[in-house]
């Protein structure tokens, strides 16, 4: 019995020692982290109304928008082709990001722009959240990458996107904009 207990204790110590030897130092994430981006979205007066993060995933680009001071209601929100946000109209952001050359809208028979996103719903207190994946999109490393030489912008519109009318879903004026920054 004593030999059996000694063997069990020895086996347990060897297993514990093996686990400890395999422990790896915590990663800082700098070498292996998926590419990402951040956005500070401001209104025409320059006040921050939302922030967003973008991360490369195996399915595409995950976008998470946290609105803090957007007018209540449902708003179209899109990624635009140029990383510029000159107020008041934010037209410097260009059109929707559309590397696939499709028509606008999730309900369009011809497909949709990669810059087309689900509407964001804003509560009475100005807050709202959008968490979506842009299927097949890439942030960097391809000819059609979002973060190309002239950058890209995230734009919030005054009205809801109808998901079908080309080129912008009848989503109205551009009320807020933010340049997508790598990192």
Tell me the pLDDT tens digit for each residue of 68-78: 999 999 999 99
| The two three-digit tokens of residue 84, written as one number | 């510029």
Q: With respect to residue 168, please indicate whether it lies within any of the assigned structural domains.
A: yes
Three-class secondary structure of residue 60 per DSSP:
strand
Separation in Å, CA 144 to CA 97, 106, 113, 136: 10, 20, 12, 10
Q: Which residue has the higher pLDDT, 110 or 4?
A: 110
Q: Is the pLDDT of residue 24 over 80?
A: no
Q: With respect to residue 18, please indicate whether it lies within any of the assigned structural domains.
A: no
| The two three-digit tokens of residue 78, written as one number | 């899109």
pLDDT confidence bin for 10, thresholds 50/70/90 = very low
Tell me how many domains the chain contains: 1
Mean pLDDT of 111-131: 90
Mean pLDDT of 98-105: 72
pLDDT confidence bin for 34, thresholds 50/70/90 = low
Q: What is the pLDDT of residue 159?
A: 95
Task: Centre a 10 Å sphere on the Cβ of residue 7 and count the other Cβ atoms it contains.
Answer: 10
Q: What CATH number has the domain bearing residue 102?
A: 2.60.40.200
Contacts of residue 17, Cβ cutoff 8 Å, sequence gap at least 6: none
Mean pLDDT value across the chain = 79
CA gap 148, 83 in Å, rounded: 9
Q: What is the pLDDT of residue 169?
A: 64
Three-class secondary structure of residue 122 per DSSP:
strand
**Which residue numbers are catalytic?**
78, 80, 96, 104, 113, 116, 157, 174
Taking Cα atoms as reference points, which of 84, 102, 103 lies closest to residue 94?
84
Q: With respect to residue 142, please indicate whether it lies within any of the assigned structural domains.
A: yes
Mean pLDDT of 16-24: 34
Tell me the pLDDT tens digit for each residue of 36-91: 889 999 999 999 999 999 999 999 999 999 999 999 999 999 999 899 999 999 99
Q: With respect to residue 133, please indicate whether it lies within any of the assigned structural domains.
A: yes
Q: What is the pLDDT of residue 98?
A: 76
* Residues of the domain holding 90: 36-182
% of the chain beyond a pLDDT of 90: 48
């Amino acid at each position: 019995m004593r030999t059996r207990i000694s063997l069990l204790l020895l086996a347990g110590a060897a297993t514990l020692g093996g686990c400890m030897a395999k422990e790896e130092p915590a990663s800082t994430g700098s070498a292996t982290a998926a590419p990402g981006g951040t956005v500070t979205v401001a209104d025409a007066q320059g006040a921050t109304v939302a922030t967003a993060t973008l991360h490369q995933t195996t399915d595409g680009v995950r976008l998470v928008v946290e609105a803090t001071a957007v007018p209540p209601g449902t708003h179209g929100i899109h990624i635009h082709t140029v990383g510029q946000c000159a107020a008041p109209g934010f037209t410097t952001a260009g059109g929707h990001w559309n590397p696939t050359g499709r028509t606008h809208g999730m309900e369009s028979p011809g497909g949709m722009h990669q810059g087309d996103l689900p509407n964001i719903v804003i509560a009475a207190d100005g807050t709202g959240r959008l968490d979506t994946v842009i299927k097949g999109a890439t942030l960097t490393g391809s000819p059609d990458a979002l973060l190309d030489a002239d950058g890209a912008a995230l734009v919030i519109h005054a009205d809801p996107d109808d998901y079908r009318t080309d080129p912008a879903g009848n989503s109205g004026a551009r009320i807020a904009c933010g340049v997508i920054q790598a990192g």
